[in-house]
Amino acid sequence: MKKFLIIVAILLAIFAVGLLLFNYMIMPRIVRAKEIPVPDLIGRSLHEARAIARESNLNLFIETYRPDPVYPESVIIIQDPLPGVYVTEGRQISIVISSGLEKVRIPDLSGLELEKGMIILRNKKLTVAVESIPSETMAGIIVSSEPPPDTLVLLRSQVKILVSSGPEYCMPLLEGKTIAEALKILEDLEISLKIDTARTGGDTNLVILQYPDAGSSLRPGDSVRILIAR
């Protein structure tokens, strides 16, 4: 009986040792996750990358979006781990996605002097075109821009500055007026007046001819010429 118990004890000890070996050495090798190479996701769209990651039993994590001069918007430009590195299934792959070419927001330049507005745009790496338009705003002051303020545009895009050339007036009718009346009409228009005289057989000191004609557009600094009868 004693010998039988010894045999049973030995068998139980062998079983226990075998169980420990199986649990801590053999079983981990069996259940260990499969290692796979990381696929190359660079240059892929986010939609494509998700499909590839799903097939490889990997998870994607979008780390950030970044402007890129080469890759178009929504394309992966960086991944970690790198392609070809072996990882376990279920591993997370961090990616950086292109937001396209770098963009800049157009500032509000209205009310600024032309030179200052041009400096601001050039500092933002934008090209400048200038167009003068009549406006009640003082000459040389920026009225608006095209595209308008707060618009997002690509770097080195052209922005047209619309700058005031001053107010625009309508040339009044001076013919038939006395020289005093003509001067009174023109005194607030900020224009230069040239007076010529001619001998006529009619009334004297009256305007008999004007240039430009009545109704023409006038801007500050323009010249008006009148002919006075003597």
Q: Which domains does the chain have, with CATH numbers?
A: 33-101 (3.30.10.20), 103-164 (3.30.10.20), 169-229 (3.30.10.20)
Contacts from 3-8 at CB under 8 Å and sequence distance 24+? none
Tell me: pLDDT of 16 over 80. Answer: no
Half-sphere exposure for 133 (CA within 13 Å, toward CB) = 13
CA distances to 15, 19, 22, 32 from 27, in Å? 16, 10, 6, 8
Where residue 117 falls among pLDDT bands split at 50, 70, 90? very high
Mark 119-155 as b/e (b = at least 16 C-beta within 10 Å): ebbeebebebeeebebbebebebbbbbeeeeeeeeee
Where residue 188 falls among pLDDT bands split at 50, 70, 90? confident
Tell me: pLDDT of 40 over 60. Answer: yes
Question: How much is the average pLDDT of 40-68?
Answer: 95
Question: How much is the average pLDDT of 126-145?
Answer: 93
